Structure 1
Amino acid sequence: MNKKQLMLAALSATLAGGLAACSGKNAGDGPDAGAAGQKTKLVYWTGDRHDSEFIKEKVDDFNRTNSDGIEVELVVKGDDFDQALDMSFQTSEAPDVIRVKENTIQTFYKKGYLAPIDDYLTDELRAEFPQMDVLNSFDGKRYSLPNYGTTMRLIYNKELFQKAGIASPPATLAELVEDAKKITAVGKANGEYGFAQNFKSPGSALGRSARVIAEMSGYGGFGYDFKTARYDFTPFKPIIEAFKQMKDDGSMLPGVESLDIDPLRAQFAEGKIGMYLSFSAEAGVYQSQFPAKIEWAAAPAPTIDGNVKGASGFLGGQWLAISSQSAHKEAAWTFMSYMYGDPILQQYQEKGFGISMVPAVSEVAAKPEVYGIDGFLPNAHDGVWPVYPAVPVQGAKSDDVFFKYILDGGDLDALIADLNKRYNTALDAAIASGDVVASPDPAFDPAKLAGQYAS
C-alpha cells in the first residue's frame, strides 16, 4: 500500500477531536544519570493548548511508570513559541523534545534544531507511520512521525445566526462582512459581536483565517504561487479588505488587536462572538477546556467570490521531534516511543483532539462523542497543499503588514507591491545560496488538490 493509500485509509476514520513555566535542563544530568540512580531530566516544549490537559496527564503517567529513571517536564508555550525556541538554541537551553508542525518543521530543520530519528526506527515503526517528504522527512532522513491532522473551518454561533435572521453560514467574503454586521446590530447591546480573530499574534490569526480563504479560492495560503515559483500577495487584497471592513464597521469584538486564542475561545463559549476561523482542534476545546454554553457548528470557510477553486489545507504529518542539542537523545526517544504508542494515539483521536493519520490507529479507534465534530470531518474540499519555500524576508512580515493595514489603513496596493518585492528578493537569495529549490510548475492546478489527503 502506497503513502496515498495509507493516508486515505486513515482519513476514512472519523474525526477525533500552557501549563508549566519554562526551565532549563540540569547541567549535572549526564546521559547515564539514570543508571547512577539519578533522574535523567528531559524538557518537552509544545505550543498546543487545546490538548494540554491530556498531554500533561500522559507525561505524568510516563514519569510515574517508566523504569528508565527519566523525568519529563512539560512546557506549554504561547504564540511566542518560535521566538522562544530560537532563543533557547542561542543560549544552549534548548528543550529535548519539540512539538513541530507543518509550517515549522522545515524551518527548524534548516536551522539545525532537529536530530534525525532513523537509527531508532524499527521495521514495524517504518511500516506503521507514513513517511512524508518535507512534512516529516528531509534529504532521505526522518525527523518526526505523524499523529494527527487538522482541517480548517468557519466556527459560528448558531444562536446568534438565528437571532440575526441569518439562514446559513457565509459562502463569500461579501456575505461574511454582511453577516458580521447583522449579528453586531442585534447583539451589541449585550456585548455580542459578529467576528473575531486572535490578532495578538497576526501570524496565528491570519494563518487560521486569511490562509484558508485564500486556499479555498485557489491561491497559496502563504502568498507563494506554485505555478510561477514566485511570491505574489495580490490575491490577498480582497480578503484583507474584507477584514478591514469588518473592523471599520465595528463588527469585530472590541480589543481583538490584543486578543489571544484562548481568551477568544472563552468569549465564544460564552456566546459573545458570532464567527471566527480556526482548526478542528476547536471541537475538543469546547468539550473540555472551555465548555460551550451555546449551540455552535463548523462550516467550510467562505471563498472570495463563492467559487471553490482550490482546497482547504489539510495539515499534519508530524508531531514530536528530538532536539539536536539534547544531551539525552536516547532518553528522548524512549519518551517519544511512549507518546507514539497506539494506546495514546487512539485516545487522542477518541477524545476529539485530531484526525488520525496513522492507519493502525484509525482502524480501531471509536468515534468520539464530541459536540460539533461532524463539521470538521474531511470533505471533498480538503486537501494537502505542497510545502512553500519559507524564506527569511527582510523587514516586516506579510501578516504584520496586513494587520497594520486592518487597523490603520493605507495604500494596500503599494503595501502588497513592497511585500512581493521583498519576499522575492529573499527567495532569489535563498535559491542562489542553495538553501531553497524552487521551480515553476505551469501545470499546477489547486482544484486537483481537493479530496486528496496525501502529499
Structure 2
Amino acid sequence: MQGRLFGTRVMLICTIIMLAVLPGCNTGRQSNGETGTGPKEEFQKTTLRFWMRAASKNSVTGRLVDAYNAENSDNVVIEFEVFGENYRNVIQMALAARRPPDVFELNGGLTIAQLAQSGSILPLDDYVTEEFRKNFYPEVFSQKQFYYKGKLYTIPERVSFFRLIYNTDLFAEAGLSGPPETLEQMKEYARKITEMGQGKYYGFAIALKTSSNWYRFIDNICTVSGRLGENGFDWETGRFDFMKQEKVIEYLVSLDREGIMPSDSLLLDIEVCRAQFGQGRYGMMIDGNWQVAQFGNNEIKCDVNWDSAPIPVFEGDRRGKSYMFFDMGKVIAKETEYPDEAWNFIEYLFMHQSEFVRNGEPLRTTVSANVKENIPLHYMGIKNFTDIENSVVFPQQVHNFLNNHLEGDPADVVYEAIFAGEIPIDEGLAALTERYNKALENALQDGSISREDIFIPGFDYFEFYNSR
C-alpha cells in the first residue's frame, strides 16, 4: 500500500511539473484580458502559486491563505500546494523547467547560497524597511545564511529548537519518575522500557531515513554540551572538526547494537516515527517544537500522554543553553511576473504570526507574536518548547555556504555508512573534516563567506551562551 501511494505521489508531481511547462497547458495564472464568458472581474484575478514542504490545507498557513484570498485588495488568488518529503525534488524540477512557483518555502535542504547563485530568486532589500525590521528579534537580520553577496533573500518566520519528548504513560509503567538528565540515564531508561515492551514497543527511536535526523541528534548533544556548533563547525577555531562528534556517534551506534531501539532505524521515516510515537510504540525521541501542534491539533493522532524535556548530556559534561535557529522563510522566484504581489502576500503572513503561536505552533521571529497570552499552555508538552530565554542562536549556519563547493558525500551520508558498519567512525569523521574544510576554503576564496563571519577571537561556547 505504501509503495502504491508513493508511486501515485511521484506521478502527481511529474504531472504538476508537466502542466507548468508544456505550452498551452494551464500555468496557474489567469489572463488580465476579457476572454471567455462570465463577469469581467473573474478574469482580472492574478493567481500566484505558493509551495511548501509540510503544512496541510487545514493548518494555520492554509487558513491564512484562505483569509488572504478573501481579504486582499490586490485581486490576488493564492494557489497553495504542499509536497512533503518530495519537496526539494519538486522545486528543483520546477526551477530547471523555468516554471517555479511565485513564492516558495526555504526548506528541504534548499539554501539561499544555491538559489541566489543560480539566479533563481529575487532579493528583498527594496521591500524591507527599517520600520518593518523593528518587528523582529535583532538576531534575525544578522544571520548571514539568508544573504548572498550582501543582499537579503529571505526572512525566517519560525524559531526552531529541539527537545527530548517522552511517553509519560510508558515511564510510569516502567517506574520512572521523570525524564533523564544524562545520556547514560537515557540509555538505561530506554533499555528498561524496551525490555518491558518485549518487541511491542521500544525505549528510544530515531528516524534515520529522514536525513535531518542525524543532525537533530548529533548537533543537539554537541551544542548543548559545548563541544561544537552545528554540522561539525567549531566556533572556537573557525573550522570544521567532525572528530569532536565521535563520542556522540558511538553512543547512538550503541543504542542500536544493544537492541535498545528498533532495528529498522535506517528505514524509518520521521512522519511514520511520529505517528508510531503517538500510538505508544516508543518511549522517547528527539523532535522539534512543531510537535506540540501536530499532536495537539490532531494533525497526527496521539493516544498517549507525553511531555518534553531538555536534551540530556553525558555525565560530567557542563550544560549550556540549547541551540535554536531561524527557518521557514519564504522566497520569491525570479521568474515571477508579480514580485510586488508576492511580497504583499509574504508581508501578510508576517502580520499574522500570532495565529501560529495561539495554535501551539513554534515561536516566531516577530517579537509580538510570542507574548505570554498567545501561548496555549494547556497544550501537552509545550512548556519546554517555549523556553526561548534558555536557548541561543549561533551567528550563522556555516555549512549552508558550502553546497556549491563540497566534494563527495555530505555528512548525513557518511553518518549512515558509519551506522551501517561500512566504515570506521574515526575514518569517516576524519574524511568529513578534511572535505568540509576544503569546501570552506573555497567558499572563502570566492567570497561566499568571509573570515570575519566565521572566526570570533576568544570564542567560548559557555561564555557565548551566557552572554545571550
When normalised by structure 2's length, the TM-score is 0.83
Q: Number of residues paired by the alignment?
A: 431
Would you say the 8 A contact 1:50–1:353 is kept in 2? no
Cα 1:52–1:387 change in 2 (3 A) is farther
Q: Give 1:254-265 correspondences, 5 Å limit.
A: 254-265=263-274
User: Counterpart of 2:93 in structure 1: which amino acid?
Assistant: M
Cα deviation, residue 386, structure 1? 2.0
State the distance in 1 between where 2:391 and 2:310 align: 9
Cα deviation, residue 157, structure 1? 0.8
Which digits, 9 at most, give the CA deviation of each residue in 1:306-344, with x for residues without a partner?
A: 523543211226622212232221221222132222xx3
Cα deviation, residue 442, structure 1? 4.0
User: Counterpart of 1:421 in structure 2: which amino acid?
Assistant: E
Quick check: which one's helix share is greater? 2
What is the match of residue 163 of structure 2? Answer: 153
Asked whether 1:339 is paired with 2:349, we answer yes
Would you say the 8 A contact 1:349–1:365 is kept in 2? no
Aligned equivalent of 1:284, options 293, 298, 301: 293
Cα deviation, residue 410, structure 1? 3.5
Cα deviation, residue 270, structure 1? 0.8
Would you say the 8 A contact 1:217–1:308 is kept in 2? yes
Asked whether 1:404 is paired with 2:410, we answer no
State the distance in 2 between where 1:64 and 1:159 align: 44
What is the match of residue 247 of structure 1? Answer: 256
Cα 1:176–1:212 change in 2 (3 A) is same
Asked whether 1:441 is paired with 2:450, we answer no
Cα 1:409–1:129 change in 2 (3 A) is same
What is the match of residue 142 of structure 1? Answer: 152
State the distance in 1 between where 2:418 and 2:173 align: 31
What is the match of residue 172 of structure 2? Answer: 162
State the distance in 2 between where 1:97 and 1:353 align: 22
Q: Report the 3-state secondary structure (helix = DSSP H, G, I; strand = E; otherwise coil) of the residue aligned with 1:98.
A: strand
CA RMSD of aligned residues (A): 3.0
Would you say the 8 A contact 1:102–1:316 is kept in 2? no
What is the match of residue 179 of structure 1? Answer: 189
User: Counterpart of 1:126 in structure 2: which amino acid?
Assistant: R
**Stretches of structure 1 lacking an aligned partner (at least 5 in a row):** 1-17
State the distance in 2 between where 1:79 and 1:306 align: 38
What is the match of residue 49 of structure 2? Answer: 43
User: Counterpart of 2:370 in structure 1: which amino acid?
Assistant: S
Cα 1:122–1:226 change in 2 (3 A) is closer
When normalised by structure 1's length, the TM-score is 0.85
What is the match of residue 3 of structure 2? Answer: none
Would you say the 8 A contact 1:214–1:304 is kept in 2? no
Cα 1:216–1:52 change in 2 (3 A) is farther
Aligned equivalent of 2:216, options 191, 203, 208: 208
Which digits, 9 at most, give the CA deviation of each residue in 1:171-222, with x for residues without a partner?
A: 3332232222111000134x111111221122x1112221111111111121
User: Counterpart of 2:249 in structure 1: which amino acid?
Assistant: I
Cα 1:364–1:333 change in 2 (3 A) is farther
Q: Report the 3-state secondary structure (helix = DSSP H, G, I; strand = E; otherwise coil) of the residue aligned with 2:166.
A: strand
Aligned equivalent of 1:223, options 228, 232, 252: 232
State the distance in 1 between where 2:397 and 2:156 align: 19
Q: Report the 3-state secondary structure (helix = DSSP H, G, I; strand = E; otherwise coil) of the residue aligned with 1:118.
A: coil
What is the match of residue 423 of structure 1? Answer: 436
Q: Report the 3-state secondary structure (helix = DSSP H, G, I; strand = E; otherwise coil) of the residue aligned with 1:308.
A: coil
Would you say the 8 A contact 2:88–2:107 is kept in 1? no
Cα deviation, residue 384, structure 1? 0.6
User: Counterpart of 1:328 in structure 2: which amino acid?
Assistant: Y
User: Counterpart of 2:124 in structure 1: which amino acid?
Assistant: I
User: Counterpart of 1:270 in structure 2: which amino acid?
Assistant: Q
Cα deviation, residue 254, structure 1? 4.4
User: Counterpart of 1:115 in structure 2: which amino acid?
Assistant: L
What is the match of residue 121 of structure 2? Answer: 114
Asked whether 1:70 is paired with 2:83, we answer no
User: Counterpart of 1:332 in structure 2: which amino acid?
Assistant: A
Would you say the 8 A contact 1:199–1:258 is kept in 2? yes
Query: Which deviates more from structure 2 when the two are superposed, residues 147-156 or residues 168-177?
Result: 168-177
Cα 1:396–1:135 change in 2 (3 A) is closer
Cα 1:104–1:161 change in 2 (3 A) is same
State the distance in 2 between where 1:306 and 1:112 align: 49
State the distance in 2 between where 1:301 and 1:377 align: 14
What is the match of residue 37 of structure 2? Answer: none
Cα 1:174–1:73 change in 2 (3 A) is same
Cα 1:262–1:452 change in 2 (3 A) is farther
Cα deviation, residue 75, structure 1? 2.2
State the distance in 1 between where 2:220 and 2:56 align: 20
Aligned equivalent of 2:369, options 361, 370, 392: 361
Would you say the 8 A contact 1:213–1:301 is kept in 2? yes
State the distance in 1 between where 2:307 and 2:466 align: 22
State the distance in 2 between where 1:291 and 1:259 align: 18
State the distance in 1 between where 2:306 and 2:374 align: 23
Would you say the 8 A contact 1:180–1:193 is kept in 2? yes
State the distance in 1 between where 2:75 and 2:43 align: 7
Which digits, 9 at most, give the CA deviation of each residue in 1:348-384, with x for residues without a partner?
A: 1111111133223334853313121112122554111
Q: Report the 3-state secondary structure (helix = DSSP H, G, I; strand = E; otherwise coil) of the residue aligned with 1:186.
A: helix
Asked whether 1:386 is paired with 2:401, we answer no
Would you say the 8 A contact 2:221–2:311 is kept in 1? yes
State the distance in 1 between where 2:372 and 2:312 align: 34
Asked whether 1:97 is paired with 2:103, we answer yes
* Percent identity (aligned): 27
